Structure 1
């Protein structure tokens, strides 16, 4: 924020109707004077692109890696594997930590660029309609950057005009209530100016429903962080606008959301707003991400998509998912690579190993072949707002105002029905009951499941003890059954007989909430909290959610007591190919009251007389 930023046109744009990704196709250009700039739609769009670009700054301090992973890590979902590191996610960094400094500076750089553009829009000879569109996006970006700042740092300087000179460096902290008020004001104005997603046909530029969805999030955060319930009706209204627009819907296949982001495929129905990272046909990155090579299944073979695998999930998070929830084995990988080398194939993780599995929502194996062998950087997009999030925010806000209602329960059920594959796989086999264990088997007999009208038959395997069948494990539940199928058990070598079993199939209502999960406002609130974690795990929301709900410290305190008891020991982890072990508890032991906010960077306190050392966040 101290820098005399000037006009930093770091990118060139094509036209006002191109996607945000197309903004980022040129190398940085020389600075130009404001008096001679802002004269054409192309110049205005380039200035707007410069404001957008801080979302994915290549210093990795925003959504390239820090805000996407580290800032949110060591919550009740996942933790940094190397607990001896100095990092925000280990809760042992200081105000001089580079990512705190760089993230703060990047966000204020985005604000500075937005202010410069806003201050020069009116004098531009460009058509008023074009200027209004750009004004809306710019106001939103300025507000969004302030929102991230107030979310992580609390009271922060509210900067509504550009730096006027090298002596213009006195910026005191503004009370967070005032910051939230300005964020909501700017975003509300933006909502009436920006285009719909159909105009852009991409999710890199903020759209009308994107603004509405983020406004719902801002109001929920304001309600929690300011302890002011008056924001809940606003949050409900903004979320309902997105739903009522009819523009968005859930992707029928949960995992496809993240495959699309790895493959750079637009999905404007589900993914309302993303940070779009870009690599051109010549292989040059204009802004790139590092989260894609940090978060995932550990793989040291560069030709198969190098992956550090730095983040592992807690067993308590694994156990949060119900039987049949397809999100679990996509978010938390059910396998690892033999010898940490993807070329050697996969090894299925034993069912008993619920701790230390990799967080792997994005997988490099789905990236373009020309990109996959680039070691550390990639073009995988980062989701900032998904439709599922909007449904859950609508349910949460409505519950806070009215308690459980038919609408809010249905919103959660929509998310859950997708999670259990209602549209994707319909009814499937969900249990097998042994009715006769048989006798005399020397080799595990085969299981054949037939009939029931399925479009894809279920499969299963048997386990023997002393010649008898003691377990039947479903290996594929099949798809679109209309009635219970028949099970036939056949000896694999002609020895043994008598085994028999029956199966039950799922119901399309199995995914829906049970009445016990919404008996009261408090009960339904906890249900929604859990559902947000299952649906949005690893997407950068959890820690900020815990902050706004006021239960971050109690959640961490509970994990400190649970992890040493339930986490596997080092030798067991080595057997399963993981490094998760009882030492995973260390980041959580480091947590203190100070950790509900980041520290004001030491550089800011040193150079900004408006924030003296006495104004540092408590405990830092």
Structure 2
């Protein structure tokens, strides 16, 4: 830690621009702390420096590593390669560059927060403004430690700037004490930071954001420390956030992620985001890389392409796909039900057959919605750190634990999330063939009309046809969709055959159909809650950490290895090599992978460090 903690004292970093975002303020170059921190403008710039490490341009935090690599392969997603050395394949060692990069970047953010907190009182300015900045700096320092304790366990707790590079040998503090510090400082910060309506954007920490993250910290502490006394705290923080009446669920699940990509705010649901700006070719320095890594594969490199370049490095599992009900609108948005054709421009889509459930692309964030022009590998999609749906699910989990069985309030919270997943209005009930047509040698695409969204998704109803004797003989509804105000028109699209026609009927959606089975005991409700978290929050970076805090990470990974090798046929994945890649992470995972290793380089900088077990 010598290098980056020491340097942080003497620098207020150069920061990137961001479109009408908190990071828009211009940097002031490099200044010593003795001559800085004198007014509100300088304090705000220093606070920006604390936040900026969340989107570090070297991809060590949420621009790539913490968003998609650190969560690893799990029962939601897997890494497509079978040869790479990378965190998602659980085949790295302590010298892996991403570990040292993340560790150093997080401690850099901590060092910047320490410097700001040590100097804030000497600045002139409004007490209200200074208190809010102090609260945000305290919260961010605590949050950085939350990241460290989540991935590394015991870590050095450094709460002052290091005046000399000779005084950086610091022992690891037990994680129980780290959690106590995090909760203490976040609690203080919650009383100082601005209300969300005052801030007006989710890029900074508001009072309700602090409450929601405190609920998460307490749940993690309860699990990781095996200490049930944290459950009431988690419940109370989540409840305080809910009772603020500042937040609500977006009625359309898809719109949450469209907003992230389109650079639009939704303060009701999306409570805290890491903000990125990466659409200015050759000039952007606050970009993200996950947006070109997790999505529907597209090899276009032209900035004018309507879809945008996509590596599709990660894929979804059949386990996740099969956990959804066909009426659940989240399934075909989070998990792409299609691939693109090779042509550029409008990018016609090819729907997957319902038998292909292993290896579908992750499609929550779609580059179709990013502002143009696009840069091949870089994007501006904001990364969600806290959504109101998560607050509801955390409350339900903690309430169940506190009371020994699910209360009415716990049911209400989880059912709000489940009901949103059904949508509102009408759904497609039936599709009947009125004329099978003739000459169909290939299966045509079933098109269901509606007000469409870019990216090949409409009001979510999907169906597929079967052909026999040159005629369309059956149509199977794979998802009934939602939000229909009128009966949709059914048409067929393909390169062979003509004359097939069909008609649809719709039926009103009954929200109570989504409700969880009543009268469950504590354990049945908890199991349902675990599955609901996966369906709602899949690919948002929580699954591995959830599995670890529940004590079922290794069990889940080994069950996935069996599932892939016995229940996921080669045809469902694509190739034998595809199945090898799918199962590799599950095969490699061991008990050591509950935590990352302390980076090897750190042992040359801090003689008092010890290594995590089995690393």
CA shift, 1:170, in A, is 1.0
Which residue number in structure 2 is paired with residue 490 of structure 1?
Answer: none
Aligned 8 A contact 1:483 1:505 in 2: no
Distance of 1:171 and 1:88 partners within structure 2: 27
Aligned 8 A contact 1:274 1:384 in 2: yes
Aligned 8 A contact 2:16 2:285 in 1: no
Q: Which runs of 5+ in 2 are unaligned?
A: 450-458, 491-496
Distance of 1:335 and 1:468 partners within structure 2: 24
1:595 aligns with 2:593: yes
Pair 1:164–1:447, CA change in 2 (3 A): closer
1:324 aligns with 2:332: no
CA shift, 1:530, in A, is 0.4
Distance of 2:226 and 2:248 partners within structure 1: 32
1:346 aligns with 2:349: yes
Distance of 1:569 and 1:337 partners within structure 2: 22
1:359 aligns with 2:354: no
**Residue aligned with 2:385, SS:** strand
**Residue aligned with 1:347, SS:** strand
Q: Which is worse superposed, 268-277 or 465-474?
A: 465-474
Pair 1:124–1:86, CA change in 2 (3 A): same
**Residue aligned with 2:273, SS:** strand
Which residue number in structure 2 is paired with residue 297 of structure 1?
Answer: 296
Pair 1:369–1:155, CA change in 2 (3 A): same
Q: Which runs of 5+ in 1 are unaligned?
A: 451-455, 488-492
Distance of 2:351 and 2:549 partners within structure 1: 38
Pair 1:165–1:340, CA change in 2 (3 A): farther
1:269 aligns with 2:268: yes
Aligned 8 A contact 2:258 2:369 in 1: yes
Distance of 1:486 and 1:24 partners within structure 2: 47
Pair 1:45–1:97, CA change in 2 (3 A): same
Which residue number in structure 2 is paired with residue 608 of structure 1?
Answer: 606
Distance of 1:496 and 1:272 partners within structure 2: 48
**Residue aligned with 1:137, SS:** helix
Which residue number in structure 2 is paired with residue 307 of structure 1?
Answer: 310
Which residue number in structure 1 is paired with residue 199 of structure 2?
Answer: 200
Which residue number in structure 2 is paired with residue 566 of structure 1?
Answer: 567
Distance of 2:121 and 2:505 partners within structure 1: 73
TM-score (norm 2): 0.88
CA shift, 1:405, in A, is 1.0
Pair 1:485–1:89, CA change in 2 (3 A): closer
Map of 1:362-377 to 2, 5 A cutoff?
Answer: 362-370=365-373, 372=374, 374-377=375-378
Map of 1:10-409 to 2, 5 A cutoff?
Answer: 10-11=13-14, 21-24=21-24, 26=26, 29-30=29-30, 32-279=31-278, 284-303=283-302, 304=305, 305-339=308-342, 344-370=347-373, 372=374, 374-402=375-403, 403-409=405-411
Distance of 2:354 and 2:448 partners within structure 1: 23
Pair 1:308–1:466, CA change in 2 (3 A): closer
Pair 1:39–1:349, CA change in 2 (3 A): same
**Residue aligned with 1:122, SS:** helix
1:528 aligns with 2:547: no
Pair 1:466–1:254, CA change in 2 (3 A): same
Distance of 1:38 and 1:473 partners within structure 2: 66
Aligned 8 A contact 1:458 1:476 in 2: yes
Pair 1:485–1:129, CA change in 2 (3 A): closer
Aligned 8 A contact 1:300 1:341 in 2: no
Pair 1:249–1:579, CA change in 2 (3 A): farther
Distance of 1:442 and 1:533 partners within structure 2: 44
TM-score (norm 1): 0.88
Distance of 1:322 and 1:398 partners within structure 2: 26
Pair 1:19–1:521, CA change in 2 (3 A): farther
